[in-house]
């Protein structure tokens, strides 16, 4: 496997580091977060069919439901 050295700024490094999971390399994060662009309608269809739906976050759902029905203090 060939290696290439990249120079990124501190903000870009911070963002990559946040996305990095246990056992991930920065290359894994980049490949996961920046997939190959879709160029044809067939690529779009194949890409959408292979996408996984993220699991629902019950805490986020509860927060959204708790916030419904509140009135804004703005007039």
Overall average pLDDT of the 9-13 stretch: 96
Q: Are 21 and 12 in contact (CB under 8 A)?
A: no
Give the Cα separation of 42 and 56 in Å (integer).
29
Quick one: tokens of 11? 């903000």
pLDDT number for residue 25: 93
Is 5 inside a domain boundary? Answer: no
Is 48 inside a domain boundary? Answer: yes
Overall average pLDDT of the 20-26 stretch: 93
Whether pTM exceeds 0.95: no
Number of structural domains, the chain? 1
Is 36 inside a domain boundary? Answer: yes
Is 43 inside a domain boundary? Answer: yes
Range(s) of the domain holding residue 58: 10-67
Overall average pLDDT of the 54-64 stretch: 89
Is 19 inside a domain boundary? Answer: yes
């Amino acid at each position: 496997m060939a290696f290439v050295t990249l120079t990124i700024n501190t903000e870009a490094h911070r963002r990559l580091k946040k996305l990095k999971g246990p056992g991930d390399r920065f290359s894994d994060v980049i490949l996961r977060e920046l997939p190959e662009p879709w160029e044809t309608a067939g690529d779009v269809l194949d890409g959408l069919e292979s996408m996984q739906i993220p699991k629902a976050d019950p805490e986020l759902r509860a927060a959204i439901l708790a916030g419904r029905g509140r009135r804004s203090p703005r007039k």
